[in-house]
Structure 1
């Protein structure tokens, strides 16, 4: 009977659908495990396919490629440690399972099927997968290991069954996306499982960005009693050997380094940087372009892009009109200079005059209104998309969550583009995130340290500058009030009555509720953006575009 067990935890970043590249990463990890004397190399949930695959998983040809790749991986990793890797399993009868495969001796030795299928927030697993029976322990080097897959560990029944059937160590492979505060929640839940079972637990999460989601790593090991034995870094790819030893009271992990974890401000910023960077790299883009207005939102997007791609790969364009202030011109130049990005200027007065002249016969007898303001925004979108097409740089949109929520943005104008890193960041958090970035610099940031967003950009009253002396508060409540109401209506699903009872004016709450509802069609067409909360627009919050109901209580 063995008294020691060596595990290699592999916290890594797959690419959805890239079976060859993901298998190559698995082989590299397995080779490192063999070199380091591991008994088992552990990879996250659905690592071979990447996560989330959505309906790609339903294509028979894709599933055949997955099965062939898995068999080849097993053959390549025959002489050495066992390899545990997440991949779908097709049962040949139309059923597909979210599974974790143990490869050993040149074959697939064990398959564990996920039992609890999450069907909330960004997950639709009941639509895609069948629920597997709760698996008992499996054996590696004579040790009985239990493997609840991700959601299975959030419910007490699976680990309880594993403990009752003789499991000695619990291994939890995960594909758990970032959400503000999620690391603490994960650890609290896993501590509960350890206390209930009395068994040590390994929680392994993946890393990297996929569409709107970012997987934040932060893997850890808990010893009996809930004591933290190992803590891996958040967001970073990392391989960590963990040694277990048998004691008179059962197995325990030898304590290792505890990587410090980022606070909420750093974690949000890191998620936006990774989300943008991986969206570009995995899509085949290396350059970004954006309209730099001299305002705070575009300044923050420019900083995120420069940190993700490098300033040399970010092209900023100032598109002034007669309403653009001298301060905005100076501030845009200041941001570009501080970040080290390129800045070009393309005035829109000429194109605007041409469009207004073309429409004049049809607009005759009408007064200038929001239509003319939006034409300016759409000219900017057209020019930026022209530059994007010509030079192969992806256009970034710069609307924050407050604007996206109430439709304070122009469809086919400032909403044009391929990605929006601040889509899930309310305006009040935009201000604080800019202050955080000015005060902090990390090795993973590719842009310079210091004040990259001038204080004047942060402190000045926000304005779209589409008419003379325009301010955002001409059309919207002050952002602290707006964001508090939006957080209630969007993030917490509070009623109008509950917000009025909290002290907000009923007329204001009803107006914001109305703006949210009538802007659904814009959000339906908006660019994807980094998910930071549990109520991001797209998969977290899905409302009908045409909706006649309002909260009239």
Structure 2
């Protein structure tokens, strides 16, 4: 019988001292619960992913110091094995580091294993910093149990689709009783089900029980949802840790089966994860909480236009940081409707946040008048529309600089895709909460928040009115864009394509196929394609956005700016 503890922790990239303290606290809990083994996540010492910090000598010296602190702590818990993830130096040709799994016991590193499969797709670029490890299986013997060890991607290629090497082949030959896989698997819609399906399949094919340990927390664009789990060859998933929260859990492994720490049966694992809107909400809230905390912000500011994007951003910010820590600012111009200002007032009252008013009509008139005096022709058209957005952006940055609030930008994925936003205006900010939600999903999430609250957090007037930037008389989004239900299906195919979930991909592709059956539809699709391509320069200068879908703008989609697209 083996007692083991999985430590699903919210670790901060580069905070070796803080990470070590959390790991030691988890190890103390494991020892108190009688565990023989504690398992941490991939690169747990540094947090995942350090990026080019791995190229800095000072950072690597701190890695050495952190590892020494863990070794010293393990000397005080001599009977406990620690499975830790850390970058380790190597010699010879190639990159100078391995992405390594280390086993520490009583102050000694008793086993090391270097990750073999280094992902370089989508958001990952591990080959930039690490050299692949050798094609060998490493196993650890604790009492009567033999434990095989893997690092994240090494367990994702059992069907042989992405790499020539399949570490599970060697692992099967080593015939362990249990496989432990340490991971840093970022979250997106459907990822929880994908992980469990892949590792359940590998467990079944090789007859190996598997413990999968993930990290949790927000890191820039990415959010890690935790959801560590255990699978058995016949039963599939038999245990799941909490999602979007730290969880340190002790299990018993006996005769090929996982049990609760006291030997009782584990609670059944549900086949379905969170509903889509509940998932988006949890992912964004945790992403903002950790981004603000790690960057030293306690409060946020949002420009409140009376529209649905800023309304949803304010609602999510209030949930993440608390209403008292969120400031809304309405900045009416000569084109703003009275209803938009009134809707902002109602919204902020519903959310319990403060709303300040800063009119911009005189500022815009002053800029426009000086422009004409300096350059001759009057300011008109797009330049005048964008001026209003930039004046608002300047006011919001003034507030942020003066009071120390994090400015949250409010663009959604549909608008960001086609460049329906103003550089240095509504794109100003430190973080975008809804930049990976299509406009139709923005509406759906607003309705979800109201349903869950049992009241109108977001006024129906905001949800029901036609979207408008209100930068010109009578302006509507549909003056410049196709209707959002049409636009969003086209964008799913153009931006995400094969990374869409199968059902969503089939629906979007069928929709676009129907459009392309007519000349008008083909022209619409081509127009949208060119809008996406030609606005890469805007996206490159925009704030980071919290990723919730399989392919988000930012590090997950790398496209050239100066390229020919026709």
TM-score w.r.t. the length of structure 1 is 0.94
Alignment partners' CA distance in 2, 1:482 and 1:145: 51
**1:171 equivalent in alignment to 2:168:** no
SS in 2 for 1:89: strand
Partner of 1:96: 97
Contact 1:232 1:258 in 2 (8 A): no
Question: Could you tell me which residue of structure 1 aligns to residue 80 of structure 2?
Answer: 81
Alignment partners' CA distance in 2, 1:128 and 1:510: 39
Aligned 1:213-252 pairs, distance under 5 A: 213-246=222-255, 250=256, 252=258
Give how far 1:228 is off.
2.2
Could you tell me which runs of 5 or more consecutive residues in structure 2 were left unpaired when the two chains were aligned. Answer: 159-165, 499-504
Give the structure 2 partner of residue 445 of structure 1. none
State whether residues 317 and 343 of structure 1, in contact with CA within 8 Å, keep that contact through their aligned partners in structure 2: yes
Partner of 1:446: none
Q: 1:257 aligns with which of 250, 259, 267?
A: 267
2:350 to 319, 332, 338: 338
1:420 pairs, out of 421, 424, 432, with 432
Kindly state the Cα deviation for residue 28 of structure 1 after the two structures are TM-superposed. Answer: 0.2
Task: Work out whether 1:5 is the aligned partner of 2:20.
Answer: no
The partner residue of 1:434 within 437, 441, 446 is 446
Check whether the contact 1:214–1:531 (CA below 8 A) recurs between aligned residues.
Answer: yes
Asked if structure 1 preserves the Cα contact closer than 8 Å seen for 2:371 and 2:379, the reply is: no
Q: 1:523 aligns with which of 539, 552, 560?
A: 539
Corresponding position: 1:351 with 2:363: yes
Of 161-170 and 134-143, more deviation after overlay is shown by 134-143
Name the CA shift for 1:52/1:450 in 2 (closer, same or farther; >3 Å). Answer: farther
Could you tell me how far 1:439 is from its partner in structure 2?
1.1
Matched residue of 1:492: which SS?
helix
TM-score (norm: length of structure 2)? 0.92
- Determine which of 62, 66, 85 is the counterpart of 1:65: 62
Equivalent of 1:181 in 168, 190, 194: 190
Does the residue aligned with 2:150 lie in a helix, a strand or coil? coil
- Post-superposition Cα deviations, 1:83-111, rounded to whole Å, max 9, x if no partner, equal 11111111255521111111101122111
Q: Which residue of 1 aligns with 2:142?
A: 140
For 2:472 and 2:295, how far apart are their aligned partners in 1? 37
Q: 1:500 to 1:433 in 2, by over 3 A?
A: closer
Paired residues of 1:199 and 1:251 also in contact (CA < 8 A): no
Whether the 8 Å contact between 1:15 and 1:49 is mirrored in structure 2 is: yes
Tell me the equivalent position of 2:42.
45
Residue deviations 1:250-284 (CA, integer Å, cap 9, x gap):
45545423466422211111111111111000001
Secondary structure of the structure 2 residue equivalent to 1:103: strand
| Structure 1 residue 304 corresponds to structure 2 residue 316 | yes
The 2-side partners of 1:499 and 1:417 are apart by 35
Match of 1:502, SS state, is: helix
Worse-superposed segment, 223-232 or 95-104:
223-232
In angstroms, what is the RMSD of aligned CA positions? Answer: 1.8
Q: How many residues are treated as equivalent by the alignment?
A: 536
2: CA distance between counterparts of 1:514 and 1:452?
37
CA deviation after TM superposition for structure 1 residue 304, in Å: 0.9
Segment drifting more, 132-141 vs 350-359: 132-141
Q: Pick from 485, 491, 500: which aligns with 1:480?
A: 485
Deviation at 1:500, TM superposition (A): 5.8
**2: CA distance, partners of 1:367 / 1:235:** 49
